[in-house]
Amino acid sequence: LATAESKAGQIEDYFLARKRDVTTLSHTPTLIDAMERFDTVFEKGGLDSLEYGEVDRQVRPFLTYYRELAGFADLFLISPKGDAVFSVNRGEDLGSNYKTGYYKDSELAKVFDRASTLLETEVSDFGYYPATNEPAAFIASPIIKEGAVIGVVALQLSNKEVYQLVLDYTGLGQTGETIIGSAVQNKAVFVTPVRHDPHAAFRRSVTIGSVLDIPLQEAAQAKKRHGITVDYRGKPVLAAWRYLPSPRWGMVIKIDTDEAFAPIHNLKNVSLIISLIVVILVIIAALLISKSFSDPIVKLTRATGLIAAGDLTHRANIQSTDEIGELAMSFNTMAVNIEERVAERTAELSAANRELEAFTYTVSHDLRAPVRALLGFSTLLVKEHADSFNADGRRLLSVLQEESSRIGNLIDDLLDFSRLGHSELKRFHIDMNILVRTVVDQLRALEPQRSLTVSILDLPPLIGDPALLRQVFINLIGNAFKYTGKNQETAVTIGAQLDPKECIYFVADNGVGFDMRYAAKLFRVFERLHTTSEFPGNGVGLAIVQRIIQRHGGRVWAESKLGAGATFYVALPK
């Protein structure tokens, strides 16, 4: 039963995740724009027109990348009239009409009709698809713009992924297998290979009402049971069967009874004897020791819990002279030692932090003068004595200028970072909508040539230091602009999430993103996930953000997926 529930959960989760993927894709602005453009050029000149070729050249890389990233077999865009105006695989079905053409009775045509009619993401049956000459299943979702259906996006599931779920025999021994079937007219048809018949998909079936493989018949008819029965081979098996609503499949998990019950027959008598002995011993032991041990143990457990929760002043009040009493005395001594060591380490850590901040400030401050002199003299050499150098010398002077400027910026960032530990917070009531709009306008002005789509949702007010929080959003929004710089279309959203205890703000972008395995490095000083040649910066900005937010008693974190943008969250107490 546990194996059946686990397998059913895996398959259901797979289909639900695929449906979410397709639903999300259908709402993306890039896909909506692609659907409109393909429909227009297809209607105007068909697949062979120059206009269609240009749109295909611009949009295909994105759709192909998504299909490969999500693990689908193919991706289709279908117009409201039923025309297949785009296919990643460019199969023979491209350009056909799913309402009137050769494929009008295919599963893709049916799921297209349901999605465009019901305005929901729909999953097709798993059936033979003539265009690929193999079984296939599709998930389709309507593409809606301004309340009107402008097309349907359909993705073909990967048979390999589906079969991997079914053909995983973990926990099923040497004879166990998973059977997936679908009710077709008066038969329960196998839709995937099985362990004992690798060619069973759509070649093997069981007549509903026959005496063979009753579990598959009932599972295909949405019945849930388990028991000993006879399978399609005519062999007795222990089976559990379920109906899977998302793909509309019946599932049977089974194992031959000979294998399932073999260990039970061998261990039955031994287990009974051992169980009786263990029960008797446990009862005797419990009666003998429970009265004398229970109370001291409860007290000691309570004391342990309080100290673990942070109350280092609590002591275990146990007066007995036996082992429990000695343990309590040792425990109390340990608690005293821990309390003293925690106090010592806290004082040492505070002193070390103060010394480190002072050292950072002093070093950064003392370095500014020589670095500025270096930058000034190198600039003077370029302006007044450039002719005295050959081309290689002038290039080296240029490198010297750039590196001096970079070191100067780095020192300034270090000084800003160190000052955060000394400056006093000035708390005022802040209209976050005005603050964020001002920051966005300021950053836009630095890149007037870029096309930036910035959405600012309603932001709740906050009490905090306006100057420091302004710096937080300058750093976060500036990063969003920077890491979307290679996109054709930049989309940045600044908004907030409802929470009874915190004001949670977020900055989301559609940039390069990052691998969540390296998320812990983001807020460390000088830690970078990209080289300066890819994206400029000193690796201090997010460390400053974290220091400011922590000083306000808040927290900051990030969520991302490589190549799919990033979202940074700032949570501050109300």
Instruction: Name the pLDDT band for 337 (thresholds 50, 70, 90).
Output: confident
The stretch 63-80 carries a mean pLDDT of 94
Q: List all residues 6 or more positions away from 359 whose beta carbon is below 8 Å from its beta carbon.
A: none
Order of strands across the sheet that contains 177-184: 205-207, 187-190, 177-184, 249-256, 236-244, 225-230
For residue 21, report the phi and psi dihedrals to the nearest 5 degrees.
-60, -45
Distance CA 172, CA 147 (A): 50
Residue where the block lists tokens 């299943």: 137
Domain made up of 428-573: CATH architecture: 2-Layer Sandwich (3.30)
Q: List all residues 6 or more positions away from 200 whose beta carbon is below 8 Å from its beta carbon.
A: 190, 192, 193, 194
Return the pLDDT at 509.
93
In contact, 204 and 190? CB cutoff 8 Å: yes
For the chain, what is the mean pLDDT? 82
Positions of E strands within 360-509: 428-430, 452-456, 462-464, 490-497, 502-509
Position 103 pLDDT exceeds 60: yes
Position 122 pLDDT exceeds 80: yes
Domain boundaries, the chain: 2-156, 162-259, 312-422, 428-573
Selected residue with higher pLDDT from 354 and 109: 109
Return the pLDDT at 193.
80
Beta strands 249-256; 428-430: pairing state? unpaired
Selected residue with higher pLDDT from 169 and 87: 87
Tokens of 532: 């300066």
In contact, 272 and 40? CB cutoff 8 Å: no
Return the pLDDT at 328.
65
State what percent of residues in the chain have pLDDT above 70: 81
Distance CA 556, CA 573 (A): 12
Q: Which long-range contacts (CB under 8 A, 24 or more apart) does 121-124 make?
A: 121/19, 121/22, 121/23, 121/26, 123/15, 123/18, 123/19, 123/246, 123/247, 123/248
Position 352 pLDDT exceeds 60: no
Domain made up of 162-259: CATH architecture: 2-Layer Sandwich (3.30)
**0.85 cut: is pTM over it?**
no
Q: List all residues 6 or more positions away from 566 whose beta carbon is below 8 Å from its beta carbon.
A: 480, 483, 508, 509, 511, 513, 514, 558, 559, 560
State what percent of residues in the chain have pLDDT above 90: 36
* 287-334 per-position pLDDT tens digit: 777 666 666 676 667 767 777 666 767 776 766 666 676 676 776 787
Distance CA 11, CA 246 (A): 9
Selected residue with higher pLDDT from 210 and 508: 508
Q: Is the dihedral of CA 94, 100, 105, 111 positive or negative?
A: positive
CA atoms within 13 A on the CB side of 76: 30
**Fold observed for domain 2-156:** Beta-Lactamase (3.30.450)
Do domains 312-422 and 428-573 share one topology? The answer is no
Query: DSSP character for 322?
Result: S
| Helix (H) or strand (E) segment spanning residue 256 | strand 249-256
Position 399 pLDDT exceeds 80: no
Instruction: Choose among 57, 21, 245, 247: nearest CA to 155.
Output: 21
**Paired strand residues for 463:** 429
Position 505 pLDDT exceeds 90: yes
* 193-207 per-position pLDDT tens digit: 888 888 777 778 888
- Cα–Cα distances (Å) from 338 to 23, 312, 330, 346, 532, in that order, read 54, 8, 12, 12, 46
Return the pLDDT at 46.
92
In contact, 177 and 162? CB cutoff 8 Å: no
Per DSSP, the residues of 323-351 read HHHHHHHHHHHHHHHHHHHHHHHHHHHHH
Q: Which CATH number among 3.40.50, 1.10.1200, 1.10.3470, 1.10.287 corresponds to the domain 312-422?
A: 1.10.287
* 124-152 per-position pLDDT tens digit: 888 889 999 888 899 999 999 999 999 99
* 234-243 per-position pLDDT tens digit: 888 888 888 8
Distance CA 559, CA 530 (A): 17
